[in-house]
Amino acid sequence: DSGVTQTPKHLITATGQRVTLRCSPRSGDLSVYWYQQSLDQGLQFLIQYYNGEERAKGNILERFSAQQFPDLHSELNLSSLELGDSALYFCASSVEGLVNSPLHFGNGTRLTVT
Amino acid sequence: GQQVMQIPQYQHVQEGEDFTTYCNSSTTLSNIQWYKQRPGGHPVFLIQLVKSGEVKKQKRLTFQFGEAKKNSSLHITATQTTDVGTYFCAGRKTSYDKVIFGPGTSLSVIP
């Protein structure tokens, strides 16, 4: 158990809809990362937050947005969903603020867009 | 932008054979991390290399960081079926930069 909690585990929705994925980081971790993993693909970096502030942005679509709340949990919002958005979405957390801290991943949310 | 590449994409080995995956970055890295993802699972941190030329071992796994801090390798000696999974390298340009993952090497071990 990594200590990172992601909900829901599975999500099935239709094209054009909007969903929210939730992530609770490990206790004490200030940084949250979001990654997208499509079938048999690698981990595509979406966005990183540190202590409530956006720190780094990857190839995140404009239809996607995220935020980190004062209690450090994070939400990833996906809107106007397309079939191609079907993927496994991972959240990871790290202590950060320290040099070279490893990432601890949650179990992921599997999104299926029909 | 920063790119991290890995080869091979897939590797099938007989149990007991050795396995190596190579990771190359388009830019100098502050550090390199290695993760393993079992089928149906999430990536799990294995190790981190920070110094130029660094070599670290974990039982049958040997990790190396290149002198120029742009490449790395993971070598598994005498593979076992428990080694099955996808191995990802991940790096960042600075200690506070985003962590970019390579595409991974998927290892299959034939008993």
Q: Is A31 on the interface with B (CB under 8 A)?
A: no
pLDDT at position A42 over 90: no
Mean pLDDT confidence for B3-24: 96
Burial letters B55-87, b for 16+ CB under 10 A, else e:
ebeeeebebbbbeebbbbbbebeebeeebebbb
Is the minimum CB–CB distance between A43 and chain B shorter than 8 Å? yes
- Checking if the pLDDT of A104 tops 70, the result is yes
pLDDT for A99 equals 62
Task: Tell me which chain A residues have a C-beta less than 8 angstroms from the C-beta of B104.
Answer: 42-43
The torsion angles phi and psi of B83, rounded to 5 degrees, stand at -85, -5
What's the rounded Cα separation, in Å, for the pair B79 and B17? 6
User: Which amino acid, B81?
Assistant: T
User: Is B50 an interface residue toward A (CB < 8 Å)?
Assistant: yes
Q: Do A42 and B103 touch (CB under 8 A)?
A: yes
Q: Which residues contact A73 (CB under 8 A, 6 or more apart)?
A: A22, A23, A24, A25
Q: Which residue of B42, B50, B103 is in closest CB contact with A108?
A: B42
Residues of chain A above pLDDT 90, percent: 85
No. of helices (H) and no. of strands (E), chain A? 0, 11
Q: Is the peptide bond before B43 cis (omega within 30 degrees of 0)?
A: no
- Average pLDDT for residues B9-37, to the nearest whole number? 96
For residue B56, CA distances in Å to A13, B18, B50 come to: 45, 17, 11
Using CB atoms, pick whichever of B33, B45, B95 lies closest to residue A99.
B95
CB atoms under 10 Å from CB of A30, counted, come to 18
What pLDDT shows up at residue B98? 84
The answer to whether B89 contacts chain A (CB < 8 Å) is no
Nearest Cα of chain A lies from the Cα of B105 at a distance, in angstroms, of: 9
Q: What is the pLDDT of residues B59-85, one digit of tens each?
A: 999 999 999 999 999 999 999 999 999
Q: How far is CA A92 from the centre of its chain?
A: 7
B75–chain A Cβ distance below 8 A for any pair? no
Here the tokens at position B68 are 């120029």
* Contact check, Cβ <8 Å, A105/B100: no
Query: Looking at A81-95, A96-110, B21-35, which range is the least confident one?
Result: A96-110
Asked if the C-beta of A56 comes within 8 angstroms of chain B's C-beta atoms, the answer is: yes
From the CB of residue B11, how many other CB atoms can be counted at a distance below 10 Å?
A: 18
pLDDT tens readout for residues A56-94: 899 899 999 999 999 999 999 999 999 999 999 999 999
Q: Are the Cβ atoms of A102 and B45 closer than 8 angstroms? A: yes
Q: In chain A, helix, strand, coil percent, each to 5?
A: 5, 50, 45
pLDDT at A98: 58
